[in-house]
Amino acid sequence: MAKRITKIVLTGGPAAGKTTLISRVLHEFKQEDGWRVITIPETATELISGFGIRPFGGCMSMLAFQDFVIADQIHKEQLALRAAEVVPEDNVLIIYDRALMDDKAYITDDEFREVLARFDGRTEAGVLAGYDAVIHLVTCAKGAEFAYNLGNAARTESLEYAREMDDRTLRAWSGHPNLRIVDNSVNFEEKINHAMREIYRVLGEPEPMVEKRKFLVEMPDVEALTQRYNALALDMMQTYLNVSHPGVERRIRQQKNGEDYLYFYTEKHTMEDGARWVTEKPISEKAYIRYLMEGDSSLHSVRKTKYRFFYSGCRFELDVYPFSADRAVLFMYSPSAGLPTPPEITVLKDVTGDPAYKNRQLARDQSL
């Protein structure tokens, strides 16, 4: 099988959901499924936090700063492509948290062309041709203002600035032939789902099903599922953290990825009207260990093995918990209701939306 490398840029104004989307991508495209995801973090943020250079505070001009950003971005993109060629997986997805054309939003068009040309004569057309698709997530400052600062108490950009930069960023990428825009016309979870569907379409892979249902089932023969449906096992552990702010539930997750582990930090914000807004970001192993010290001692960590497989055109996920020998939880992602479950699985009841079977309650009861 020939190696397939797909390059997708995630862009948009401040507080658009890029970090949460990257977490979803890492969760969806697993090494066990034959995927390798390479992520390129936002260059400007790395330079400001790591190198101490910044286009404000008298350090340097914005134009001089963009010279640093473009140089570093080009270097990282070249390394990512080299890595994509040597990793053993045949399907490689490179995700860029912003990329070269984002720099055009911060300087004039002429300045951008001049800076770009200093790097081996690069042109805008040549840069755009280097990416397979661009997904522009619209800032929450446009249509979801209430959530603008959620998950980032240190955000300093005003709503007005966020809207302006969103417009300027969209204009910078407007010449890409495969530009897709994801706005705030739906809630945040559906916004991320929409973006994920766009990624699946770019890849030419079956899109995630739109309806998610949840069932309590008798414990099936997991080995038989593995053999018949090529079910892939994924070990996970979720830990709830002490409450630091009212209305905010915090948790961390450790997730096996091939021979390695991925780590995530999640915040679930409950609004005054009862709506929920979930943000998530990948974290390092060191950060994960630090967060473990903040674990809620009244709740157990929820350990489970998730078996993912396909049947009758639908994706299924079977969650098996160490505290339950005779029952498990089955998730069904289907385009419509009424589709069958595999004959090897006996459904006891539909528990979609039932709070008794949510992870937080399982962390408390340790029973199904």
* Residues 104, 190 within the same domain: yes
How many distinct structural domains can be found in the chain?
2
Sheet holding 4-11, edge to edge: 35-40, 91-97, 4-11, 133-137, 179-182
For each successive 10 residues of the chain (368 residues), what is the average pLDDT? 91 92 92 90 88 77 91 96 95 96 94 94 94 95 79 66 93 94 89 92 79 92 91 92 88 87 90 75 93 95 92 88 96 77 93 92 93
Q: What pLDDT, on the 0 to 100 scale, is given for residue 153?
A: 52
pTM: 0.80
Written as one letter, the residue type at 132 is D
The Cα 107–Cα 109 span in angstroms is: 7
pLDDT digits (tens, 9 = 90+) for 130-179: 999 999 999 998 988 877 766 555 456 788 998 999 999 999 999 998 99
Other Cβ atoms closer than 10 A to 237:
14
Query: Please, are residues 136 and 173 in contact by the beta-carbon 8 Å criterion?
Result: yes
State whether 111 and 178 are in the same domain.
Answer: yes
Strand partners, 262: 255
* DSSP symbols for 293-344: TTB-TTS--EEEEEEEEEETTEEEEEEE-TT-SSEEEEEEEESSTTPPPPTT
The secondary structure of residue 47, as a DSSP letter, is I
- Write the CATH number for 52: 3.40.50.300
pLDDT at residue 154, rounded to an integer: 47
Q: How far apart are CA 210 and CA 212, in angstroms?
A: 7
Do residue 23 and residue 122 come from a single domain?
yes
Q: Are residues 193 and 272 in the same domain?
A: no
Of 158, 175, 203, which one is at a domain's C-terminal end? 203
Residues 320 and 234 in one domain: yes
